[in-house]
Structure 1
Amino acid sequence: MTSDLSDSLWHDTSGETVDAPELIGDVQADLVVIGGGYTGLSAALHAAMDGASVCLVEAEEFGAGGSGRNVGLANAGLWLPPEDIDARMGKAAGARLSDVLSGAPDMVYGLIDTFDIACEPVRNGTMHCAHAPRGMKDLENRHRQLADRGAPVQLLSRDEAVARVGSEQVHGALFDPRAGTIHPLAYAKGLARAAIKAGARLHEATPALTVDKSGKDWHVTTPRGRVIARHMILATNGYTKPVKGLKAPRIVPVHYFQAATDPLSDADLERILPGKEGCWDTALVMSSWRLDQAGRLIIGGMGELGHIADSAHRNWLDRKLARMFPAIAGTPLRQLWFGRIAMTAEYLPKILALDPTGLVSFGYSGRGICPGTIFGERMARALLSGDFAGLPTDPVTDHSLPFAGLRQAYYETGATMTHLVKDRI
């Protein structure tokens, strides 16, 4: 399960709105997109800017899935370091993916600037923080690999990290100046607004009910309409709903929850993340923290709410806040929400080719903002041009993920057990 989008801070504070009524009647287009998150909206925007006719359908509202629930860290690259990517994909393919994603923050912040998207963009970098002294070994390894490939990353000492985070609980950090933070839901809605202005037809509250290929065209049927298009992109990632005639690729759903304080005082903001970098840590059960534009501290960790482990996760949040930032211990956490991350067995994003005219993307494994944006753009242009050489990763024609349910249970059990005992003072 996931929380309702309206539970989140992002829903209440989005500076972007968009009007996209339900699809009624038949539409013909060059490209039909199913899913109104970063990938689908970027595909629609770039296809429309290239002069194609586009129709996008979203079952709920834009950003209703992971795009409206995540931490809002716009990072370069993936969770895996480059050498691990190469080992899984092969050196040439891995280097290509890493190279494409290294420039993805430039695309995200460029779109924000070009279309004046009101999503609280702060490009002051992100910090991957060592949760314990042993975490520095991982960060040193990542720093070496990234620096060897020309990334402008910096390894921060414990004292430097403590000063920049404002917490004695970090033991060093890997700083990436290419990255930053955004308001994730506002970014999605801003992409939708830009796509509509570019000429794309976008429709909320319009679930795809059936998909079939008739001759050369895709037919996507919705409750009150239909889209007929030569090309199709399915971009629903971890929030795919059942669609007759279309088998969704399997993923491992991993949940992540967050909570936000009221805006902190000026004195607290002088000590806590004074540079407004976004942070996450090296712990196996990861946690994150960042500020929003109003000065709220947003803190989160792995786990699903709304079931038997709910209290373990909620109680851990209060303990984590007190341990990380003792000066604001006991500060009420006003909002609490969670969402779903789509993982693959390899922790790598994938593109599945249904045929030469239909592509599916999925499996960003917790790095949806920048990869989703660039995957959407590259897939749309590949389909419309017929040239797939520019795709970040080669499409596959088959995908399986054995024991997905057991993998999901493993992650949730690990998060629950950790949060039952961790950060007790």
Structure 2
Amino acid sequence: MLYPMSPKVVELKRKLESFMDRHIYPNEERFYREAEELGPWKVYPVVEELKSLARAEGLWNLFLPESGHGAGLTNLEYAPLCEVMGRSHLAPEVFNCSAPDTGNMEVLERYGSEQDKERWLKPLLAGEIRSCFAMTEPAVASSDATNIESSIVRDGDHYVINGRKWYTTNATDPRCKICIFMGKTDPDNPDRHRQQSMILVPMDTPGIEVKRPLPVFGFYGVPDRASEVIFTNVRVPRENMLLGEGRGFEIAQGRLGPGRIHHCMRLIGLAERTLEKMCRRVRSRVAFGKPVSEQTVTQERIAESRIMIEQARLLTLNAAYAMDTVGNKVAKAEIAMIKVAVPNMACQVIDWAIQAHGGGGTSNDFGLTQAYATARLLRLADGPDEVHRNQIARFELKKYSNA
């Protein structure tokens, strides 16, 4: 292997896989049923039951690097573990490793005050509350984050917040207690990347209206609890400002780097499981006098899926290694490449698996529609393909600026 796993990671991976076999896979049907029956405004009991088991087995906060609160793993060490968790929609939250809480915890760890850490980070690390991240807006093209229009205006010892956000994951969850909100404190600053700030907003603050849950391909609550939230004259203390006015874009870039790679790690696990489902399905079905697995087109798709998954994994491990060795800022190109390559790979593998399952593949019985919703969403979340491709091209062209 180009990136061998340490003995510590090997043991954690073994424990994770065992937990998945014993608790996650057998409870997936119940999880999807609860999500459908209870809807996005409720807590799903199966998740809470399994969280206590995961914590008891030491499979908790594995994502946190260089921290006394988690396993202290590097991005490269976390990659194979995140991949295992990505095999099921149920798993990440059970291990307290789900977005957007992971990114928000990292922000609080790096930029929060001691009071912020005590009030918000501590219960998040314990899995007692959840959080949301409010950046995307329906009125502007949020693929360019400098477009956001929400305002954060200083008023004495407070800030007054106004804005309309959507795809604010977790906002409908009754356990969601804190929001990290991105808005403009200095809209006239000639440096467009210094106009924005991030501020902590408790979700019980007057003026916050969680307007509605947003379905993702018809799913509410799975793969996430996307929501629309209105902020009207919301007042919070000035000490809730993170890092300082004008530093929001800086925080966002630091937050989104790990978030993007975590999404890619999970998608590789989802693609692996999808390929397994496809192989099992085509070996058990007969069409035109022979197993579907013996049809040449099926074999070509299985082969291409294996090649694409391996390519995506190596690209992701390379990005993780770069982040660990040269830092997230220097590894921007590597992160952008996986953000394009991995969701596109997953979409294709899942699409072939749906085709191999026949009409049943379009139902919710095999988990493929839920998987496709996740993969397709991630071609947009944390920046659409087009933005990342443009960024990669600029990095490449810069090499020849003196040619």
TM-score, length of structure 1 as denominator length: 0.29
Larger strand share, 1 or 2? 1
TM-score by structure 2 length? Answer: 0.30
